[in-house]
């Protein structure tokens, strides 16, 4: 089954595309287009049908998953687990919080400029601490530790190095929302499950640009890093699916190998 039209209309209400798509999918569910147990079309298909990007589809599916309407199964897809309004009198409306992709957009705008300002004001001890945190991220990655906590320290130190209290508060708030917003928290949990970890070299390039007191290079390095994080989040579930398929293939080969019972 497919969605009711090929592209999302410009509704002019200021809502983002993923919210419009989530509302369309919600209407499809409520209207009987899908039943409990049905699998929604693949992300690529939904993206083509609705003329949107795959991150937009991912955000819409996560919005429905957070509300308990669909379940995303690794390596299989999104399945309907509840029909909206079926267990209550009033029609159900989608609820939206801040998504991981919205947060990354905000971080691109704010933390890129914070890195540029830090390149002008960072003290020698802060530069040394940035280098130490880069190495700690590498160490945590190797031993499956909490590299994300060190990652947060790295970004907060850059904010502090701007000598701008408003920027420190803004970056801190973004990281708080990253951990508390339901849709963002769900996608980040998927990334962790897929073993997506902070990329050491991206952080090293940022630290080097700040140490060189080069605002343009620091801004570009931070923005490049955060753009890459968006890609990491987008493909987190695909990486998990590939790993699941690999394990299944190994299991199948083992069952049918010569000498197997």
Contact 64, 26 (CB under 8 A): yes
What pLDDT was estimated at residue 89? 39
Backbone angles phi, psi at 55, to 5 degrees: -60, -35
Could you give the CA distance from residue 174 to residue 155 in angstroms, rounded to a whole number? 11
Q: Looking up tokens 């940035």, which residue turns up?
A: 130
pLDDT band of 58, cuts 50, 70, 90: confident
Q: For the whole prediction, is pTM greater than 0.85?
A: no
State what percent of residues in the chain have pLDDT above 90: 48
Could you give the CA distance from residue 79 to residue 93 in angstroms, rounded to a whole number? 19
How far from 195 is each of 104, 233, 243, CA to CA, in Å?
Answer: 19, 11, 10
What pLDDT was estimated at residue 241? 44
> How far is residue 102 CA from its own chain's centroid?
9
What pLDDT was estimated at residue 234? 66
Q: Which helix (H) or strand (E) holds 77?
A: strand 77-80
What tokens does 232 get?
Answer: 């990491």
| pLDDT tens, residue by residue, 75-94 | 788 999 998 875 553 445 55
Could you give the CA distance from residue 78 to residue 39 in angstroms, rounded to a whole number? 6
| pLDDT tens, residue by residue, 214-253 | 999 999 999 999 988 877 776 654 544 444 444 544 554 4
**Domain 100-246 part of CATH 2.60.120.620:** no
Cα angle 79, 94, 53 (rounded to 5 degrees) comes to: 65
Pairing of strands 70-73, 77-80: antiparallel
Q: Report domain extents, the chain.
A: 17-80, 100-246
Contact 22, 94 (CB under 8 A): yes
Position 191 pLDDT exceeds 90: no
Position 157 pLDDT exceeds 70: yes
What pLDDT was estimated at residue 259? 52
* Section 146-151 average pLDDT: 92
Contact 70, 32 (CB under 8 A): no
What pLDDT was estimated at residue 11? 42
Domain at 17-80: CATH architecture: Orthogonal Bundle (1.10)
Q: Sign of the CA dihedral 187, 189, 194, 200? A: positive
What pLDDT was estimated at residue 167? 97
Bridge partners for 79 per DSSP: 39, 71
* Section 183-211 average pLDDT: 87
* Section 101-116 average pLDDT: 92
Selection from 43-52, 162-171, 250-259 with the highest mean pLDDT: 162-171
């Amino acid at each position: 089954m497919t969605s009711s039209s090929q592209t999302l209309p410009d509704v002019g209400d200021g809502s983002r595309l993923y919210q419009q798509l989530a509302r369309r999918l919600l209407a499809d569910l409520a209207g009987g287009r899908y039943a409990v147990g049905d699998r929604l079309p693949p992300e690529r298909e939904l993206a083509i049908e609705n003329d949107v990007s795959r991150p937009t589809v991912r955000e819409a599916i996560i919005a429905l998953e957070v509300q308990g309407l669909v379940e995303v199964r690794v390596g299989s897809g999104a399945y309907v687990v509840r029909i909206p309004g079926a267990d209550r009198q009033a029609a159900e409306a989608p609820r939206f919080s801040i998504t991981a992709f919205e947060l990354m957009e905000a971080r691109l705008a704010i933390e890129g400029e914070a890195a540029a300002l830090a390149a002008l004001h960072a003290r020698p001890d802060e530069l040394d601490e940035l280098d130490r945190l880069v190495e700690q991220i590498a160490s945590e990655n190797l031993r499956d530790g909490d590299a994300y906590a060190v990652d947060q320290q790295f970004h907060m130190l850059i904010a502090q190095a701007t000598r701008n209290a408003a920027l420190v508060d803004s970056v801190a708030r973004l990281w708080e929302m990253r951990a508390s917003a339901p849709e963002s928290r769900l996608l980040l949990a998927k990334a962790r499950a897929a073993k997506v970890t902070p990329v050491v070299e991206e952080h090293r390039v940022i630290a080097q640009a700040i140490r060189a007191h080069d605002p343009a290079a620091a801004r570009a390095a931070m923005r490049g890093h955060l753009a890459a994080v968006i890609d990491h989040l987008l493909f987190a579930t695909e990486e998990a699916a590939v790993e699941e398929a690999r394990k299944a293939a190994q299991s199948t080969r083992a069952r049918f190998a010569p000498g197997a019972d």
